[in-house]
Chains A and B, each alone.
Chain A
Amino acid sequence: MPPRHRFFSPGRIGAIAGNTLLELVRQKVFYFLLIFALALIGCSFFMGFLRPELQFQVMKDVSLGAMSVFTWLLAVLATAMMLPKDIEDRTLYTILAKPVPRLEYLLGKLLGVLFMLAISLGVMAVLFAATLYIKEQTTIAAALGELRQAPPEQVAEVVRNVKAATFTWSLVPGIAIIYFKAALFASLTLLISTFASSWIFTIVISVAVYLIGHLVPIARTYLLETDGSWISKAFLTLLTLMFPDLQLFNLTDDIVAGNALPPGLFFQTAGMGCFYLAIYTCLAYLMFSKKEL
């Protein structure tokens, strides 16, 4: 007797996610890691004229900035092209002709992108940590050479300062928050792509949301703290309600500056990211469930 068809199957979602990831790998999306590696090497070798603490500061700023841009770009580009490509290749019809609910198809596709983002960010984080470690060891070796005659306390102080300025575990929550921001964008782009007429339209709208999303806290402050005209108030209300507050996920600048992200605050921020992700995915399903293909 054949197994009974289940309405919701994690196995089917997993299969679609695995295929999506494989497709993305075949599209050579990971080649961008070369650019990231070049940026890292460039930073570590061409900033030699600056004092070591500043070199580390620049390396961390540039690397985390590049991680943020690359994961966002990957999330938007990979998701924007997903549905149009499946329609163009007729893969979508083959899948949906089988007893695969549209929700499973969407979830599988989104999970595939999220896996790809996790792998990319993980590789970038490892490259980043390795480069910082090499730079740290070089700097410590140079300092020890210069401080041969210095008292042990002074040497220990220098080593402690160098280590504090390079890779610290406080950077990890910052990297995780970059992931949640990219995941939010993957689900938002998926939502846009369910009603967009072309992938270019999807990308343009996603970029616009990226720019506007960073202005949301300014709009909210203006809305709450000033007395403007009703038109401006209505416009700002619409803006703050419709767009996600992306500044909530911009914590790396301050984390690089030495701010610690307490676990409670990290989970609140990550939870907010998951909340956005869930809502945008539900809305994407609502759009996609009755879409004429």
Chain B
Amino acid sequence: MKRIAAVLALLLLFGAVKFPMEEALTRTHRTAYFHGAQLNLPLREQIGQGAFVAALSGFRGVIADLLTLKANDAWENTRWDRVVLFYDQITTLQPRVTLHWEMAAFYMAYDAAQASLNDPNQPRQTLRVKACREYQRLGRDFLERGIRNNPDRYVLYNRLGAILMNKIGDHEAAYEAYAKAAEFPDCMGYEKRFAAYELSKCPGKEAQAYALLAKLYSEGPREHTPTLLQRLKAMEDALKIPPEQRVYNPPGPPS
């Protein structure tokens, strides 16, 4: 009995030594983006006690995968409300998997938005458009939350830029998203170009857009895509740049 008491006392002493070490290591892990999942009471109510315990015990990924299968099923049956619910849970469990944020945003901003726009059960066009915009906003919201959890990765900025450009039509925000993506060394080759295209669609930003497009044009033939040439010409026309000062001077029609 004395020996057990001695072992317990030593265990407590060891605990006092390890306490600050564990706290410091946890903080270091957090700075490297580990342990970012917020496993809280609302999540426990949503996913159930068993899944919550499993998630706490180091099986967040597996639980998130099971929920992804359920979300896939809901998506196949166009149950958009359930898709949102499942992806909220999935992204809470696995906030560092960019694929989950991407898919959630895609399902909302593209699939659900399009489905609600063509909803045969809703006779009123205004309400269909309203629902479509609401889903697009949800898609954007997923990506913005994803970016807050993954500020060190370009991919979600890229996807946000795509949704803002193709679906929402907020060109200034799309420019900002693409410009941010372009800052990452491993980004796609077209990020800067798309940022410049989007800026050229913003009224009042023509001069800034022209500078960006001209800089890209000067980088060589690889950047001379038809859209870049077309946007460059549009900016030169809008800014009324004299022909001799223009960066891009396409040959005129034969006389």
CA of A272 to CA of B64, assembled, Å: 28
Interface centre among A60, A241, A268, A272 (most CB of B within 10 A): A241
Per-residue B-contact encoding for A62-103, CB less than 8 Å = 1, 0 else? 101100100000000000000000000000000000000000
A241 B19 Cβ-Cβ under 8 A: yes
Complex interface: chain B residues within 8 A of A68 (CB)? 58-59
CA of A249 to CA of B15, assembled, Å: 17
Majority secondary structure, B binding face: helix
Per-residue A-contact encoding for B203-237, CB less than 8 Å = 1, 0 else? 00000000000000000000000000000000000
B28 interface neighbour in A247, A249, A265, Cβ under 8 Å: A265
Per-residue A-contact encoding for B7-23, CB less than 8 Å = 1, 0 else? 10011101110110111
A58 B25 Cβ-Cβ under 8 A: no
Complex interface: chain B residues within 8 A of A9 (CB)? none
B33 at the interface (CB under 8 A from A): yes
A265 interface neighbour in B11, B32, B62, B97, Cβ under 8 Å: B32
Interface size band for B: 35 or more
A253 B21 Cβ-Cβ under 8 A: no
A283 B58 Cβ-Cβ under 8 A: no
A258 B26 Cβ-Cβ under 8 A: no
CA of A214 to CA of B59, assembled, Å: 11
A279 B32 Cβ-Cβ under 8 A: no
**Chain B interface: which of A49-57, A109-117, A128-136, A198-206?**
A49-57
| Number of A-B pairs, beta carbon distance below 8 Å | 135
A283 B11 Cβ-Cβ under 8 A: yes
Interface centre among B32, B61, B94 (most CB of A within 10 A): B61
B96 A259 Cβ-Cβ under 8 A: yes
Complex interface: chain B residues within 8 A of A286 (CB)? 3, 6-7, 10
Interface size of A in residues (CB-CB distance below 8 Å): 55
Using a CB–CB cutoff of 8 Å, the interface residues on chain A facing chain B are 49-50, 53-54, 57-58, 60-62, 64-65, 68, 191, 195, 210-211, 214-217, 220, 224, 238, 240-242, 244-254, 256-262, 265, 268-269, 272, 275-276, 279, 283, 286-287, 290
Starting from the known contacts A65-B62, A265-B28, 15 additional A-B residue pairs (CB-CB under 8 Å) come to A217-B22, A220-B23, A224-B23, A242-B11, A248-B22, A249-B58, A252-B61, A253-B58, A254-B35, A259-B34, A272-B21, A272-B22, A283-B10, A283-B11, A287-B3
